[in-house]
Amino acid sequence: MKMKLREVYSALKIQSDTIEDVEITGVCFDSRKAKKGDLFFPLQGDRDGHEFIDSAIENGVSATIWQSDHDIPNDKIPYVVVKNVSNAFETLAKYYLNKVNPKVVAVTGSNGKTTTKDMIAKILSTSNNVAKTPQNFNNEIGVPFTILNMPTNTEVLVIEMGMDRPGQIDHLSSIANPDISVITMIGEAHIEFFGTRDKIADAKMEITDHLNEDGTFVYNGDEPLLLERAKNVEQRQLSFGSHDSNDLYATEIQAGKTTTSFTTNQWPDVKFEIPMMGEYNVNNALAALLVGRALHIKPLAMQKALGELFVTENRTEWLKSQNGADILSDVYNSNPTAAIEVLHSLKDIKTDGRKLIVLGDMLELGDASKRLHESLAGHIDGADFEKVYLVGPDMKYLRDKLSSKYDQNDLLWYDKDQLADLTTDLKKELKPNDTVLLKASHGIHLENVLHELM
């Protein structure tokens, strides 16, 4: 970002006769990360952002926004008075987006949106100046922040969009006005807030509400809920998935421990390889390839880009325990779809020793929690996983479902305050050639068990 404070006034449609000629090179809302050249936005969070203006000034910000219902400050630095800080944040983002005028790719989905965002950005950067959502800044703060901090020479902007309520993605899309809208998949994440997968699909489809008239909608064609709703989208459509009815599908998949390779119907002679485990990540790559195709990236350039991929937030990672056992760690996020995917991937991986699994509660499933925890039972068998450790009150439902498959010594349950007992039992059980999966929602805090094992 680069603009004079005078231009900020103009963008926000504020009249003033006394505007200092200050250059703004970025925006921030966290005073701890403030730096010279930043325009500080005191956004409302758990605390009023105005409380941190002095801290932002100490860290070097060049100017600040100030909401008019607060006492006007002393003139330590230039300030812009607005009626509403959040509205000003979004208004300035829209202005700057129009000024830079990049192609905008918006990505959402119940799972895989951060990975897909990174894949898309990597592919498109082979021929373009690309900016993307940092980490998973995908809400009402993150989307304007991403826009306002993109360089002035950005040609393509890849924006991730998350949601926890109906209407949220519609709002984010109205800020970004995407040229390409991508939906990775529909799962059960946040079903507590939406009630049904149908309603989740409706909310995800909001990413097409403000899709440009000559834009493109890229979606998972294996999902009936998306196929049905795509009929109402007038813009160009491209689908991906495992079925040959899709525009792009994988023809051969070879899954390894740390890499997955595949070919496709579109480019049968090009073998793509991603530095990630799991066939589920192939779908994310297919979505990225379709975006690349839509923006005229050559297949060999896309092949090279995917092979060199570094993912912002690769939550599933291989680690080593103190005694040498392999740990497949995914301790910060879990939902039924993601859990089933990683279980299937682990089944297919060849190991020298036993496979053990530790599963913690999947949160935010609401009234469907019992049914969805029980649903994992069909994907867990003693022939694949020798011992099962379950953590949390809702995992009792899965324990009961698995009781006919496992001896009681191989199926153990712990309350969420018994992580120390779980850790002790795992340390006693794990052998150097074993492989153990740790997966749960972050609220279960399996990262504490992981730390002790390592």
Query: What confidence tens digit (pLDDT) does each residue in 262-287 have?
Result: 999 999 999 999 998 888 899 999 99
Assigned token pair, 119: 């894949």
pLDDT value for 394: 97
SS3 327: strand
Measured CA to CA, the distance from residue 53 to residue 61 in angstroms comes to: 9
**277 and 131 fall within a common domain:** yes
Same domain, 108 and 257: yes
Instruction: Identify the DSSP state of 232.
Output: T
Average pLDDT over residues 229-242: 97
- When divided into structural domains, the chain yields a total of 3
Q: Residue 323: give the domain boundaries.
A: 317-453
Residue in 180, 172, 111 with CA at minimum distance from that of residue 137: 172
Nearest to 443 by CA among 399, 394, 380: 394
Whole-number Cα distances in Å, 454 to 21, 110, 318, 448: 54, 31, 12, 10
Q: Nearest Cα to 435, choosing from 331, 336, 346?
A: 346
Place of tokens 């994988």: 250
Model confidence at 312, pLDDT cuts 50, 70, 90, reads low
Q: What percent of the chain has pLDDT over 70?
A: 99
Range of lowest pLDDT (149-153, 199-203, 253-257, 422-426) = 253-257
Q: Is the pLDDT of residue 192 over 80?
A: no
Feature table: binding site for ATP: 109-115
Whole-model pTM? 0.89
Is 90 exceeded by the pLDDT of residue 436?
Answer: yes
Residue 94: inside a domain: no
pLDDT at residue 439 is higher than 90 = yes
Residues 446, 348 within the same domain: yes
Tell me the pLDDT tens digit for each residue of 335-358: 999 999 999 999 988 888 999 999
Last residue of a domain, one of 307, 331, 348: 307
pLDDT at 314 over 60: no
Greater confidence, 195 or 3? Answer: 3
Tens digits of residue pLDDT in 134-189: 988 999 999 999 999 999 999 999 999 999 899 999 999 999 999 999 999 998 87
Q: Is a pLDDT exceeding 70 seen at residue 313? A: no
pLDDT at 74 over 70: no
What's the pLDDT at 256?
86
144 and 178 belong to one structural domain: yes
User: Do 68 and 203 lie in a common domain?
Assistant: no
**Higher confidence at residue 190 or residue 394?**
394
Residue with tokens 């021929």: 127
Q: Is 248 helix (H, G, I), strand (E, B) or coil?
A: strand
Q: Is 382 a residue whose pLDDT tops 60?
A: yes
Point out which residues pair with 197 in neighbouring strands: none
Q: Does residue 53 contact residue 29 with C-beta atoms inside 8 Å?
A: no
214 and 106 share a domain?
A: yes
Among all chains, which residue has been given the structure tokens 């070097």?
A: 60
Q: Are residues 59 and 111 in the same domain?
A: no
Q: Could you tell me the CATH number of the domain that includes residue 258?
A: 3.40.1190.10
Q: Do 294 and 369 belong together in one domain?
A: no
pLDDT band at 38; cut points 50, 70, 90: very high
In a domain, 95, yes or no: no
Does 191 fall in a domain? yes
Which residues does the annotation place in the binding site?
A: 109-115
Say what the pLDDT of residue 20 is. 81
- Is residue 126 one of the residues assigned to a domain? yes
pLDDT tens digits for range 89-135: 999 999 999 999 999 999 999 988 999 999 999 999 999 999 999 98
